[in-house]
Amino acid sequence: MNILNLFVIIPMLTVGGILLTKDLKQSRLVSAIGMGFQLILSFVLVYLYLKERQAGNTAAMLFTYDALWFPSLNIHYALGVDGISAAMIALTGIVVFAGIFASWKMELLPREFFISLIILASGVFGFFISLDLFTMFLFYELAVIPMYLLIGIWGSGPKEYSAMKLTLMLMAGSAMLLVGLLGIYFFSSPDPHALTFNLIEISKAHIPIGMQRFLFPFTFIGFGILGALFPFHTWSPDGHASAPTAVSMLHAGVLMKLGGYGAFRVAIFLMPEAAHEQAWIFLILTAISVVYGAFSAIVQTDLKYINAYSSVSHCGLVLFAVLMMNQTAMNGAIVQMISHGLMTALFFALIGMIYGRTHTRLINEMGGLMKVIPFLGVVYVIAGLASLGLPGFSGFVAEMIIFVGSFQHTDLFHRVITIVAASSIVITAVYILRVVGTLLLGPIKNDHFLHLEDAKWYERISTITLVIAITAIGTAPYWLTDMINYSLVPIVQKLSSIQLTSLY
């Protein structure tokens, strides 16, 4: 049996298992076992993938599986992974696992909560393993829809408003995406009887340049909305602020990555000419995201808003690097997706844990927490240092690859925009240190906080898993980047093979 099918089957079995459970204790146990198994499976996949490559398999996609699903439109259930998707799957496995432990005390409707969470996760897994655009889109929707329930029911604050806003904006993105994907389908082959949704086959064909010019913005913005592209990012602060902890973790950690991954794998890979032509517009937008998100984060007072804007900034860097369209920068984009996924999941987990103790998320009302909850405090500092790009953590690796990659363009426009994006490392330091200084250091402001309990065992599992992943990438990045680089070669070849008219 193909290993990739398991990535869809295990979540289904887990959901089935949760349906049989009666209370919180049982359902969280089933979820933890199921997702623990999924985590192991992700690493097995990475291991098998690397083994296969060492054995000399040079196919672009490994572990492929294909079943015809809807013959009249030639829709397949086609699966396959390369180094990039394998890495993304490992990320998802880690974040989902950590997310289950972060919602260990979900008292309200626990069964329904875990079911929705795992359906969301299965959508993400399915998205990363799909090779068929239609199936990919289906999994994408599967991941987005539970979000509405998760925020609307288990959220806090103006949750209905936030849930509605998030869902509607992402649906608008989906609608644009659908236009893009159908357009790609209808021009996937000159022969009207050989139209296909298969990613690899379309990449070999050539979509007429006129169509590309029209379809590229739809596809890129469609994915870009999920990747918090300026000015379509405003669902992110409200959505994250209202979402329960695990949902924020999953959403910022992996769901936003669907945007970056899709923009890279579908929009740019399939429509390289249009991408080259229009890159400058989106480069400007993403550079704005990077700097603007960071500046906005400086003045926020709600921890979740700070982190949401920080995500806008970091995810902006992902799309920024993707648009640089060379091997190094794209590699950096993938690493940044993984790095940001881990860091932001860690942040949201910690914010949830702190909120659970202090019942406030406003940094001005807190202070000196390091003294009372040292474990959470230290992990928060680690997350902050990782986020501001300290060597030894994943963020540094990702940012440096991106900047070096972007600097390979010699023209003034790219140079200037790279320096603008690079300046975010200073602004990031400002808001991270501001939060750390106000929240954790200094004197204790509120006497109620003197008796807070430090992290429980399940909270430690959740945070330590993420910290290990962040440091592993930060100290030994070569295994990850080499894996990604190998799979980037055919993509970059395609991008550079096209006829480049003088654009800049």
Site residues for other proteins per CB under 8 A: 165, 168-169, 230-231, 233-235, 238, 292, 295-296, 298-300, 327-328, 368, 370-371, 385, 388-392, 396-397, 400-401, 403-405, 407-408, 418-419, 422-423, 425-426, 429-430, 433-434, 437, 440-443, 477-478, 481-482, 485
30 phi, psi to nearest 5 deg: -60, -45
Q: How far apart are CA 162 and CA 354, in angstroms?
A: 22
CB of 374 to other proteins, least distance (A): 8
Answer left, alpha or beta for residue 389, where phi above 0 means left and psi between -120 and 50 means alpha.
left
In angstroms, the CA 423 to CA 414 distance is 14
Q: Cβ of residue 477: shortest distance to other proteins, in angstroms?
A: 5
Task: Please provide residue 245's backbone torsions phi and psi, each rounded to the nearest 5 degrees.
Answer: -50, -55
In sequence order, what are the residues at sequence separation of 6 or more whose Cβ sits closer than 8 angstroms to the Cβ of residue 15?
A: 115, 118, 119, 122
Whole-angstrom distance, CA of residue 343 vs CA of residue 457: 20
Q: Residue 442 Cβ, how far from other proteins at the closest point, in Å?
A: 5
Minimal distance, residue 483 CB to other proteins, in Å: 12
Tell me whether residue 479 or residue 504 sits nearer to other proteins (CB atom): 479
Spatial distance between the Cα atoms of 75 and 412, rounded to a whole number of angstroms: 44
In whole angstroms, the minimum distance from the beta carbon of 332 to other proteins comes to 9
Q: What is the closest distance, in whole angstroms, from the C-beta atom of residue 381 to other proteins in the complex?
A: 9
* Residue 43 CB, nearest approach to other proteins (Å): 22
Local structure of residue 263 (DSSP, 8 states): I
Distances (CA, A) of 6 to 44, 123, 125: 12, 13, 10
Locate 274 and state its tokens.
Answer: 């249009």
The total number of residues shown for the chain amounts to 504
Complex with other proteins: residue 208 or 374, whichever CB lies closer = 374
To the nearest whole angstrom, how small is the minimum distance from the Cβ of residue 340 to other proteins? 18
Residues near 371 by beta carbon (within 8 Å), at least 6 away in sequence: 444
Nearer to other proteins, 96 or 337 (CB): 337
Q: Which is nearer to other proteins, 129 or 488 (CB)?
A: 488
Tell me whether residue 116 or residue 313 sits nearer to other proteins (CB atom).
313
Contacting residues for 199 by C-beta, under 8 A, at least 6 apart: 131, 132, 133, 136, 265, 266, 269, 270
Specify the residue, 33 or 476, whose C-beta has the smaller distance to other proteins.
476
Among 490, 439, 480, which residue's Cα sits nearest to residue 90? 480
